[in-house]
Structure 1
């Protein structure tokens, strides 16, 4: 048997009604998968446009820690997209396999927003912001950008990007191409990702695992237990508060924007 863990969706975009891909949502699933003693390996199926670098790194570290503790090989299989934080998680694999048309890469850091300078004046709205700390409200979308604020943000992004690069280099080693574009934030098809050393080959989980471990090998998807939507909750536990619906809608829009970046 080879257990399979699915990592599907944007990373870190979680609300009371839509639990996203986070360390909290995957911790129990990963623990169960790696605890199957007779399994020679654990397969991770990834379909993610990225998201939170912190949650991505936490998941990466948990996979590596469990792999070393349980002495299991980690096989990563990419579906539609494995980009940004999704690729950080993929780097936890001892081997990475993709479909020839998968989208892979986007090793970089991005911050996006809008500027509404002058808009509230035209609408006759008075905005009031009070801070303790003269830079507490930096990058305020209703004020003109300041060069020192932009420089601070870019420094933060470079720190996170440098850690991302170092992680990928440590895991992929000499397999990586020396092409500067590998860490530029660009993304490629699965076939090109293999040529750049970001993946090890073209293949799907069922075919490769059975070729390697035998045709009788069972692939078992390990998932979190589902709760009954209308069952009375146990003492001390309540049903989700539907007041989170607004946040859920915003989270959905943010996730759709992430997927749209890769044409999906």
Structure 2
């Protein structure tokens, strides 16, 4: 936690900034102008003083940070930014989360990382990107599961030093799923047929407008099995568990207490108890947490709002007919 000298320094910077702003405002709006301007001078001085104090506050915060723990949230489905599909406004894109963790790592004030997880999982490689970013953070890292830390979320948590959860948290789901929509029956009713133009035997494996052959099914299942083995290895290494014990979970989710019993969670606790643990790790009496947010411009914030509206109206219908995926409509998810 920031000491008293740092707090005093921040207050001095703010005070000096406000005084300078007021003095400049007085000079510009009261001393120099004519009588008409002087009538509005006091109001203008006050406004300039407020702006000056706010600017000085930002400067002081940068020079003398009042936090020592960076918090980054992983909420909602884990996926890349849009990827050309219907946008999902409920989650934070993976690249934004990775950027926040890296920013925290570059911040000299952030001595530890608190990764708050409330996610049902998502895509495999994006989940691993976040896990790697957390693993590379230079300092203690604690994952904190709130409502759900499943599948891709647990993949991420395996890269942290410790994992805390609540008694009612759902934790686990160490598994991978691949899915496709079999639309051949619908295509027959509509009079549609699939005409193959491809090079390579398995190039169109998983396309929804044709039945899969046994060879294609075996091929795609092999990819899923490969992802699963990687998932098991990540958890076994990160949680210091036996790989067979991880497999025995059979992709189940567990309530917090049971998850702790089988080693998927270190401790149960509230946010305040997690902060107390971080204080112990840093060797201080208490910590101050600063939540890192995605750095977005005005245009991007407006686009996010528009996408949210579009998602509300169109996501349900579009998801039925969406035939894009990781392999010709066949999607792989850590779930």
| TM-score, structure 2 normalization | 0.63
Contact 1:5 1:222 in 2 (8 A): yes
Query: Are positions 1:61 and 2:129 aligned together?
Result: no
Q: What residue number does 1:37 align with?
A: 108
Residue number among 28, 51, 58 corresponding to 2:99 in the alignment: 28
Q: Call closer, same or farther: CA 1:253–1:37 in 2, change over 3 Å.
A: farther
Distance (whole Å) between structure 2 residues aligned to residue 175 and residue 126 of structure 1? 49
Tell me, which stretches of 5 or more residues in structure 1 are unaligned? 234-238, 255-261
Q: What residue number does 1:257 align with?
A: none
Q: Call closer, same or farther: CA 1:175–1:152 in 2, change over 3 Å.
A: closer
Contact 2:235 2:241 in 1 (8 A): no
Q: Secondary structure at the match of 1:97?
A: strand
Instruction: Show the 5 A alignment for 1:40-189.
Output: 40-65=111-136, 67=137, 70=138, 72-174=139-241, 178=245, 180-182=247-249, 184-189=250-255
Q: What residue number does 1:210 align with?
A: 276
Distance (whole Å) between structure 2 residues aligned to residue 230 and residue 211 of structure 1? 37
Contact 2:127 2:153 in 1 (8 A): yes
Contact 1:18 1:248 in 2 (8 A): no
Q: Secondary structure at the match of 1:178?
A: helix
Bigger proportion of residues as helix: 2
Task: State the structure with more CA Rg.
Answer: 2
Structure with greater contact order relative to length (CA < 8 Å, sep ≥ 6):
1
Give per-residue Cα distances to partners, 1:78-105, cap 9 Å, x unaligned: 0111111111111111010001111111
Tell me, which stretches of 5 or more residues in structure 2 are unaligned? 1-67, 320-334
Contact 2:144 2:274 in 1 (8 A): no
* 4+ runs deviating over 6 angstroms: 251-254
Moved more, 128-137 or 89-98: 128-137
Q: Secondary structure at the match of 1:157?
A: helix
| TM-score, structure 1 normalization | 0.79
